[in-house]
Amino acid sequence: MSGEGEWISTSEDEQSTYHQPSFGRKNGYDPETGIYHSVLQLSENHKMTSDCPDLDTAKFVLSQFPSPAQASSQIALIDTASNQNITYAQLNRSILSLATGLYHALGVRKGDVVFVLSPNSVMYPTICLAVLSIGAILSPSNPLNTESEIGKQVRLSGPKLAIAAPEEVHKLVPTGVPTLVTTRPKDDEKSVSVEDLIENCDPLELPKDRPMPSDTAAILYSSGTTGVSKGVVLTHANFVEIMKLLKYYVEITSSQDDVFLCFIPMFHVYGLAFFGLGLFCSGVTTVLMQKFDFEAMLEAIQTHKISHIPAVPPVILGLVKYNKGSHDISSLRSVTSGAAPLSKEVADAFQEKFPWVELKQGYGLTETTGAATFFVTNKEAKAHPSSVGLLFPGFSAKVVNHETGEALPPFKEGELWMKGPGIMKEYFGNEEATTATITKDGWLKTGDLCYFDNEGYLYIVDRIKELIKHNGYQVAPAELEAILLSHHEILDAAVVPLEDEEAGQIPLAYVVRAASSSLTQDQVIHFVASQVAPYKKVRRVNFINAIPRSAAGKILRKELVLQSNQPLLSKL
C-alpha cells in the first residue's frame, strides 16, 4: 500500500503529501474566527461518506475485509497464549454466526444494550462486530472494575444482555442481567457460551433493519481519573468516519505485510477503535496479548516479528529503561504513543536508543472516538518532538481562554475545543454534564490545556483540572513529571497538588526509585529545582513502589491525592 498518492497537493512542491487550504496556508489558523482547521485533506477517492444512509459500523468494517480469494489465507489475529491463527474468512464467519445466535437464539434486537466484561481475547473483536451487526449497542467495561463499579455502569446503561469472561461473571450476578459467558467452564455443562453460538449457528444474513448513522453504536465509560466516570455515547457515524481516517492513516504509514501488536485493552476507545475495529479495514495481522506484560511483549516482538506497536507512555518509558539485548526487537519499525502525554525527554531518549524506530504521538479522547491528531511522516514527528501532531482531516479546533472565552492565536495557551466527525453525541443520561461539555454550536470542551505552533502542530500541556495553583501561578504536573523521568534512578513518577495554608497548593511528587537507588527527597527536590522556575519546584517527595495507572496508562491522580491528604510535615 503506497502512501504518497493518498493525499491531494495544491502546492507547487510535487512531493507534498497533503493539501493546505487557502486560509492560513501555513497552519490552518483563521484569525477572523480564531479557528484552527486541519491542513490535511483526503483525496476525492477517500472522502468521508456521511451522506450514505445505510453505512453502519459493522457493515463498513466487514466491507473492508480482504476479498474471498485472499480472506482464507490472510491472517487477521494471532493469539500469543495459544498461538492460534484466525484468518479473515474465519473471523467473518464467526462474526456472522455469533450475530445470528444473538439475534435468533437470545432475542437481541436493534437498540438493545449489550454489556461486555472481558479482558482482551481473539473473541473480543468478534463479539464487538457481532453486536454491532444486529444494530445492538456495545457497552464494554474494564474487567478490573469492582462489583460496585460494574453495578453503577449497568444501572446507567440498562443492558438487555451481558457477555463476560467466566472469571468475571460473579460481578454481574447482583445486577440480575442475563449473562453469556465467552467460554464455557469445563465443569459447567449447562451454560451457553459465545463459543457455542459460533460453533452451532449457521451464519444468516444481517437484519434488514439497519442502524442509521445518527443511531447509538456504543456507550463507553470515561476513565474518571479526575472525576466521576460518565457514559460516552458514540454513534455509527462517529465510528465509520474514524475508521476511514484510521484506514488511510495505516495505509500511508505501513504495508499489508506489517504485523501489529495489541496489548491495549479493547474496552478502552484506543483499543476498540484501533484493534477491535479499525485494523481489520486494512487487512493487516494483529498479534493479541490478553494483558500487558513487559517481558511477554518483548517475546512477542521477537517471535512474531512485530513491526508496529500502538502503545502508551509507560510502555515507551519501559523500553527506554530496559537493558537492550535480551530480545531481538529489530523487526520493530514504528511505535505510536497515545492515551496520555509523552514527554520530550522520554521521546528523545527513545529515539536515541532505537534510532531505526519511528516514534509518533497522537491525540484523542473517548469523546472524540479516540482520534483527533496524528503525524503523516516520521520526519515531521522528529521536528516536533513534543507535539501530538496535526489535526485529522475534517477536524477543527479553538484554543480558548478559560476565563474570558477568547479564542487564542498560535503559541497562546488555553483550553482545547474541538469539532469533527468523531465528536460524541452526549453523555448517556447526563444532560447536565453534556451541556457543560458541548457548547450550543457543537464545540467539545476537552478540558486540556494546549497551544498550536505556527505550523499547525498541537501541543498538550496538561489537564486543566490537574494544574497546581501555587501562590497564584499555574504549575503543570506533566512538566515536572517529564523532568523527574529524565533522572536515571527514577523509574516512574507522578506529581499531584498538596493543600498548603500559605501557598494554596504545592507540588508533591510520588517517585518510584530504581531497585539499587538510595535517592533521597532532598536530591529529588534539588534535581527538579535546578531546571525550573522557583514557583514550579517540587516541595515534597513520597517514595512509592508503583504509580497507580489506568489500563490506558493514565495516572490515577485521585488515588494519589487521597494518599496525600494529610498534614504537611515541613515547609520547604
Q: What is the CATH class of 1-48+367-464? A: mainly beta
Q: Could you report the per-residue pLDDT of 230-241, keeping only the tens digit for each?
A: 899 999 999 998
Query: Contact 436/444 with Cβ under 8 angstroms?
Result: no
Confidence of residue 315 (pLDDT cuts 50, 70, 90): confident
Nearest to 453 by CA among 373, 401, 384, 404: 384
- The model's pLDDT over 206-229, given as tens digits with 9 standing for 90+, comes to 777 888 889 999 999 875 544 567
3-state secondary structure 314-372: HHHHHHHHCCCCCCCCCCCCEEEECCCCCCHHHHHHHHHHCCCCEEEECECCHHHCCCC
The whole-angstrom separation of Cα 78 and Cα 71 is 15
Lowest-pLDDT choice from 54-63, 103-112, 180-189, 441-450: 180-189
Whether CATH 3.30.70.370 fits 467-563: no
Nearest CA among 31, 317, 327, 421 for reference residue 335: 317
Of the listed ranges 15-19, 111-115, 152-156, 346-350, the one predicted with least confidence: 15-19
Mean pLDDT comparison of 320-324, 388-392, 556-560, highest-scoring range = 388-392
Domain ranges of the chain: 1-48+367-464, 87-234, 467-563
Q: For the chain, what percent of residues have pLDDT higher than 90?
A: 37
What pLDDT, in 10s, does the model give residues 495-530? 888 887 667 788 899 999 988 888 999 999 999 888
At 9, is the pLDDT very low, low, confident or very high (cuts 50, 70, 90)? very low
DSSP single-letter state for residue 568? -
Quickly list DSSP for 211-241.
PPTTSEEEEEE---SSS---EEEEEHHHHHH
Domain spanning 87-234: CATH 3.40.50.980: yes
Distance CA 155, CA 401 (A): 37
Q: Is residue 324 very low, low, confident or very high in pLDDT (cuts 50, 70, 90)?
A: low
Instruction: Tell me what pLDDT residue 342 has.
Output: 78
Identify the residue with better confidence: 552 or 522: 522
Burial class (CB in 10 A: 0-12, 13-18, 19+), 397: buried
Quickly state the pLDDT bin for 25 (edges 50, 70, 90). very low
pTM above 0.85, yes or no: no
CA–CA separation, 467 and 536 (whole Å) = 11
> 94 by DSSP, 3-state: which?
helix
Out of 150-164, 315-329, 382-396, 404-418, least confident range: 315-329
Whole-number average pLDDT of the chain: 83
pLDDT confidence bin for 409, thresholds 50/70/90: very high
16 pLDDT tier (thresholds 50, 70, 90): very low
Confidence of residue 44 (pLDDT cuts 50, 70, 90): low
Residue-wise pLDDT tens digits, 350-365? 888 888 988 888 888 8
Closest residue by Cα to residue 314 from 485, 443, 462: 485
Specify which residues 445 forms β-bridges with.
Answer: 417
- Identify the residue with better confidence: 391 or 465: 391
Q: Which of 146-155, 290-299, 335-344 shows the lowest mean pLDDT across its residues?
A: 335-344
Give the integer Cα–Cα distance in Å for 473 and 496: 15
Residue 5 clears pLDDT 50, i.e. is over it: no
CA nearest to 553, candidates 486, 481, 452, 488: 481
